Structure 1
Amino acid sequence: MSSNEQQLSGPDFARGVPASDIADGKMLLGQFNGEAVLLAKAGAEIFAVGATCTHYNGPLAEGLMVGDTVRCPWHHACFSLRTGEALRAPALNPVSCFRIEQSGETVFVREKIEKSPKQQVKPDSHVRSVVIVGGGAAGNAAAEMLRRQEFKGTVTILSADDALPYDRPNLSKDYLAGNASEDWIPLRTPDFYNEQKIDVRLKTRVVAIDTVEREVTLADGSHVAFDALLLATGAVPVRLDIPGAGLPHVHYLRTLDDSRALIANTKNSKRAVVIGASFIGLETAASLRARDIEVHVVGPQSRPLERVLGAELGDMIRAIHEERGVVFHFGTTAVAIDEDMVTLKSGDRIPADLVVAGIGVQPDTALAKAAGLTIDNGVVVDQYLQTSVPGIYAAGDIARWPDPHSGAPIRVEHWVVAERQGQAAAINMLGGRQPFDAAPFFWSQHFDVTVSYVGHAEKWDKIEIDGDPSSRDCKVTYLKSGRTLAVATVSRDIESLRAEVEFESS
């Protein structure tokens, strides 16, 4: 990831380019007035949009053009070539759109133009107030989509967090590693929520939902009424249950405050033990190594992430970490923590100034369960993300939805999925009938290697590998009974995007 704008390259579109240089279904990277710009041709139409993804500044020219859209190669954001609109998270802002002028066989890019995004649904006049419980990925994306759909009623986010919605994936990646400033972390400024008339109430805990009176009760005893409700309460870390788990140098990583506290502790730490070889545990390990801290990772399995990614990618990830000095202790668990030591079931004792627990999370469904909503490994929703109570929706880590790609109900804990579900739920709360059928996508960063994963494979009976995981260049396909359930890629961004498109069309 880079915070810098792309280096300008290619032709100056202000001077014009031959129309023949732009093939149908293809993109041409160039520049205009000091900005990277894409020319793209779909049939007889030519479009010009900004070439830099508004999520993490990914290079759209290296992405995939699908119809009249372009998808970012890094994290699968999608933009309209017609309007520049951010059609899919994780991008929330549009790219610039430019006027095209064609003279004879030459195409020129002219000034920037404002184009209205396509309104997907006419807001239901019966819905005048929307309450969103949770200020994470799903909650924020839903609130923004409500306003993008020109919903004029009240939008209230009730967040137990003490910070405005922020970029949670960065907490274990560049921010924790010291490569990203805290300025990167907020998704929006306070002014944005004021301008959009989104009432964000921080440090606000909802304790009950009255599904008959259509109101929620807050911890202070007050009530907030709703016509439509979105539950986006997310997940909470699984806590260690061993002696010493409550010591001050033992950390969990879920919130911005958690990450801040961990960073503060690194300043006086030389040795760290990460309990749990999960995605969050391994990303934390990589970030701590970037701060020149000795890191040991403890886990009961035989290799990292084998249950999710298989043996081959598990071995690759282990090798990446070991090359950077991470020490693994597999086939064992932590049984006790002292002020300067972690004791393992194997009998080994590892010196530690700092301990991070990454042993998983569980969906925060207590509120939904108490309200009488159907619960089954999460809050059960239909294809429109509506719960068992009409008018109440769920999105993000708590939602268990019927996945058309795997053919089974699933629940996943991924940032991009949560944002996309929040967007879909917002449209459906306004009376739309938009099934959530996006293929799940996530990425995991291990030092300078990123694994991209599309689809969902809880179990598989065959793995096909194209390329060489040990060379950090491969595509891994997970199949069951001959059906492709998921695709993981390393250094093959276009193939990851193509896999996503194939899932959508299947």
Structure 2
Amino acid sequence: MDRIVIIGAGESGTRAAFALRESGFTGSVTLVGTEPHLPYERPPLSKPVNGAVQMKPICGAEALEAAGIDYRQGVSAQRLDADARSVALSDGRALAYDKLLLATGARPRRLTCPGSERALDFRTFRDAETIFSCATAGQHVAIIGGGLIGMELAAVLRGKGIDVSIIEMAPKPLGRAVPARFAARLHARHQAEGVGFHLGQGIAEIIDDAVVLSDGTAMPADIVVAAIGVSPDTALAEAAGLAVGNGILTDGHLRTSDPNIYASGDCAAVAQPGGGHMRFESWRNARAQAEAAARNMAGGREIFAAIPWFWTDQYDLGLQVAGLPHPDHQSVIRQLEGGELEFYLDGGRLVAAAGLGVGNGLAKEIKLAEMLIAAGLSPDPALLADASANLKVLLKSVRAA
């Protein structure tokens, strides 16, 4: 085996390319990316500095060259022939491979209402540049979708003095991913900052200067942004006959239904020990899966078993969530100076933790909680609630035992 091709030059694909070299793979590595830039990180797109969108490169051209990674930028994979082990590119060329990694990511979900073409997406560097160059003080921006991306964008725009309204079909924002306690606090903070909310509302139509809600209300809007989530980009895999569901289905080794093809990042739905497949949308997951897939393509037999984790910054508040909180889990609150933690126990075992506080103040606590989760601990709930009970000491005692 001496040829590995990676389709997708985002966080997952790019990290996989470098991880192959770190694993000792000496064959050819080709990285294919559709955007005309060096690979860059997406989280900074929602955090402009001095009004300018930041493109934070994952790596420089020199690093790619030094690692012997052939980066094909500005081209896309048009067709995958799994039998011939070949990928046809949009520039007319074809790439042969021995192993292939699909890191195709996800695409923004599309609105289906009349006038939906007037809504802007918020996914790429170009999207971010368009939104922030158009949005100026005195204008009103309507954000359709009250999830993490929509709420983060609202916070940034309010910081620029721009009027913002969020339209959400659910009865409350942040309902899918964020624990209810912290979702309510973030919602209240947005309201205090002047963000308007239209909850339990669909979109009837988008016209030149307004969004018409399902109840007939015409809400004035100079700019409309669609932030209704993403769908895994499975088109290439599906056309090639690979198994897909809510993502490209893989086993625990991140291998697809074709043993020579792997998948990682937002496009991958990974087999779970208890059955079924799960897709994780986060920056850290994209990196962790990439590194595991790379080691396995290079000959390893690693089972991917990272703990889900994500974060969001809104105004001066930082939220981090480790594990998968569920409303049915036993909840334990720990009050701390500048914030609070919430632990989640399932049958007595610690399975998740979340923290909301000023800035990055609770990052250390969440990291320790994540390590406790990984240890499979069943701690005394009273210890978790006691702010004077040091989590680091608890972790050390578990390791000693």
Q: What is the number of residues matched between the two proteins?
A: 372
Deviation at 1:477, TM superposition (A): 2.9
- Distance in structure 1 (CA, Å) of the matches to 2:272 and 2:373: 11
Give the SS at the match of 2:183.
helix
Q: How big is each residue's C-alpha offset from its partner over 1:325-359, in whole Å with a ceiling of 9 and x where there is no partner?
A: 11111111221111111111122222111111101
- Distance in structure 2 (CA, Å) of the matches to 1:130 and 1:365: 20
1:131 and 2:5 correspond: yes
Deviation at 1:224, TM superposition (A): 0.1
TM alignment of 1:287-326, pairs within 5 A: 287-326=156-195
Deviates more, 1:324-333 or 1:216-225: 216-225
Asked if structure 2 preserves the Cα contact closer than 8 Å seen for 1:444 and 1:451, the reply is yes
Deviation at 1:179, TM superposition (A): 5.1
Asked if structure 2 preserves the Cα contact closer than 8 Å seen for 1:421 and 1:436, the reply is yes
**Aligned counterpart in structure 1 of residue 354 of structure 2, from 488, 492, 501:** 488
- Distance in structure 1 (CA, Å) of the matches to 2:17 and 2:241: 25
The aligned counterpart of 1:503 is 373
**Aligned counterpart in structure 2 of residue 431 of structure 1, from 292, 299, 324:** 299
1:140 and 2:24 correspond: no
TM alignment of 1:63-462, pairs within 5 A: 127-172=1-46, 174-175=47-48, 178=49, 185-247=56-118, 250-267=119-136, 270-403=139-272, 409-457=277-325, 459-462=326-329
Q: How big is each residue's C-alpha offset from its partner over 1:373-402, in whole Å with a ceiling of 9 and x where there is no partner?
A: 111211111111111111210000111113
Cα distance, 1:468–1:502 mapped onto 2, change above 3 Å: closer
Identity across aligned pairs (percent)? Answer: 37
Asked if structure 1 preserves the Cα contact closer than 8 Å seen for 2:53 and 2:128, the reply is no
- Distance in structure 2 (CA, Å) of the matches to 1:239 and 1:165: 25
Deviates more, 1:202-211 or 1:290-299: 202-211
Q: Cα RMSD over matched residues?
A: 2.1
Deviation at 1:268, TM superposition (A): 7.2
Give the SS at the match of 2:277.
strand
Which structure has the highest helix share of the two?
Answer: 2
Q: How big is each residue's C-alpha offset from its partner over 1:25-83, in whole Å with a ceiling of 9 and x where there is no partner?
A: xxxxxxxxxxxxxxxxxxxxxxxxxxxxxxxxxxxxxxxxxxxxxxxxxxxxxxxxxxx
- Distance in structure 1 (CA, Å) of the matches to 2:152 and 2:53: 18
Calculate the TM-score normalised by the size of structure 2.
Answer: 0.87
- Distance in structure 1 (CA, Å) of the matches to 2:50 and 2:151: 17
Deviation at 1:318, TM superposition (A): 0.4
Cα distance, 1:266–1:182 mapped onto 2, change above 3 Å: closer
Asked if structure 2 preserves the Cα contact closer than 8 Å seen for 1:461 and 1:481, the reply is no
Asked if structure 2 preserves the Cα contact closer than 8 Å seen for 1:207 and 1:217, the reply is yes
Return the letter of the residue paired with 2:56. I
Return the letter of the residue paired with 1:155. V
Q: Which runs of 5+ in 1 are unaligned?
A: 1-126
Deviation at 1:222, TM superposition (A): 2.1
Deviation at 1:281, TM superposition (A): 0.7
Deviation at 1:299, TM superposition (A): 0.4
Larger radius of gyration between Structure 1 and Structure 2? 1
Return the letter of the residue paired with 2:58. L
Return the letter of the residue paired with 1:367. L
Deviation at 1:182, TM superposition (A): 5.1
Give the SS at the match of 1:417.
helix
Return the letter of the residue paired with 2:271. P
Deviation at 1:476, TM superposition (A): 2.0
Deviation at 1:411, TM superposition (A): 0.6
Deviation at 1:260, TM superposition (A): 0.9
Return the letter of the residue paired with 1:461. D
Return the letter of the residue paired with 1:190. A
Give the SS at the match of 2:299.
coil
Asked if structure 2 preserves the Cα contact closer than 8 Å seen for 1:210 and 1:216, the reply is yes
Return the letter of the residue paired with 1:414. S
Deviation at 1:450, TM superposition (A): 1.0
Calculate the TM-score normalised by the size of structure 1.
Answer: 0.70
